[in-house]
Amino acid sequence: MKLQPDQIQTQAVTGYGLGWIALNGDKFTHSLIISSAGLRQKWPFSDPNSLGEMAFSGLQELDIELLIYGSGDSIVFAPAEWLRELTRRGIGVETMDTKAACRTYNILAGEGRKVAAALLIQGGTKENQLEL
């Protein structure tokens, strides 16, 4: 029996580490908004404390079921009023650290779900590096 890794038919996080994330092998050093439909958009924030009321604006226009917010090195919840328009449109929002958000995004995108992730890229420690 030959075992092979599953082939994801959509954009996937293929690695992450100290201040970077890789999507299908392309390395990025800035925060990103990505989706299973192929969106790769620079997100102009580098820390959860730099987010403002407009940080999530416009994301409700994406054709998604779920937004995963990767809040950096630790879990920092965005105020509910910033997410209100997403939830009003029936889009679920989950908050987790960016490492967990990358893994969760890959699982859901690999299942064919309509998912997006808003991923904060911060510094960290070398133990945080992972090539998938």
pLDDT digits (tens, 9 = 90+) for 13-66: 999 988 999 999 999 999 999 999 999 999 999 899 989 989 999 999 999 999
Residue 37 counted as domain residue: yes
Question: Domains in the chain: how many in total?
Answer: 1
Residue 24 counted as domain residue: no
Residue 44 counted as domain residue: yes
CB atoms within 10 A of CB 59: 23
Q: Tally DSSP H helices, then E strands, for the chain.
A: 2, 9
For residue 71, the domain's CATH number is 3.40.1230.10
Residue 113 counted as domain residue: yes
pTM: 0.86
Burial class of residue 85 in the structure, from the number of CB atoms within 10 Å of its CB (0-12 exposed, 13-18 middle, 19+ buried): middle
The C-alpha atoms of residue 77 and residue 100 are separated, in whole angstroms, by: 14
Range of the domain at 113: 31-122
Residue 67 counted as domain residue: yes
Which of 80, 89, 35 shows the shortest CA–CA distance to 61? Answer: 89
